[in-house]
């Protein structure tokens, strides 16, 4: 059993926020792999099924971002999972938009969802870091992540969450490097190889 966790804030008002791209990615995985409907569980919503021949529990915490660790800890305890069984999908300010990197452990870089998970269960879980770019000024970060993706960004967001869902079986099998490479190649093929940083004019 693996646990795929999407990070975000619950409620319709947050659904399109940059901070919610983890929710979007995991929801796309559920749809692409024909998992059953979400149901209330583990202080959020969850569904379970096969991804790449592996049994996977998908979880969207309903605790708000800064308490995400409570939901993750409850699910891990219920299934007796270890940290290597947990894959967390989250927004990453330090990556350009539409770029994806996978890593194990590391710092939380000011991300309240990661901080909460690390404080509840430990640090060495797998992370799918989904680039949203940086607004360029740290004083603008809070407003930036809690704002919806701009209309001009929605095409790459839809493309990227779809490509993540298409290749999620590689993550389920522990083939993180292959997953990362497939994402890169697929986004290049779709014409999203070098999206503009926020605030930069189009050519």
Catalytic residues: 19
Question: What residues contact residue 91 under an 8 Å CB cut-off, 6+ apart?
Answer: 7, 18, 19, 20, 21, 22, 111, 130, 132, 145
**Are 150 and 182 in contact, with CB atoms under 8 Å apart?**
no
Strands 2-6 and 54-61: parallel
d(CA 161, CA 158): 5
Look up tokens 């209330």; give the residue.
40
């Amino acid at each position: 059993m693996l646990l795929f966790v999407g990070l975000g804030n619950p409620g319709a008002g947050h659904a399109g926020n940059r901070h919610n791209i983890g929710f979007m990615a995991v929801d796309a995985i559920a749809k692409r792999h024909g998992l059953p409907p979400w149901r209330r569980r583990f202080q959020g919503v969850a569904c379970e099924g096969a991804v790449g021949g592996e049994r996977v529990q998908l979880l969207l915490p309903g605790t708000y971002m800064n308490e995400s660790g409570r939901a993750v800890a409850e699910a891990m305890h219920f299934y007796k999972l270890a940290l290597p069984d947990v894959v967390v999908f989250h927004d990453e300010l330090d990556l350009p938009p539409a770029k994806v990197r996978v890593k194990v452990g590391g710092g939380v870089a000011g991300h309240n969802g990661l901080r909460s998970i690390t404080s509840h269960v430990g640090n060495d879980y797998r992370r799918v870091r989904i680039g949203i770019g940086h607004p360029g000024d740290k004083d603008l970060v809070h407003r930036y992540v809690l704002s919806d993706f701009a209309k001009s960004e929605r095409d790459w967001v839809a493309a990227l969450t779809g490509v993540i869902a298409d290749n999620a079986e590689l993550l389920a099998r522990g083939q993180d490097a292959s997953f990362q490479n497939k994402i890169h190649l697929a986004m290049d093929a779709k014409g999203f190889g070098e999206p503009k940083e926020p605030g930069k004019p189009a050519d």
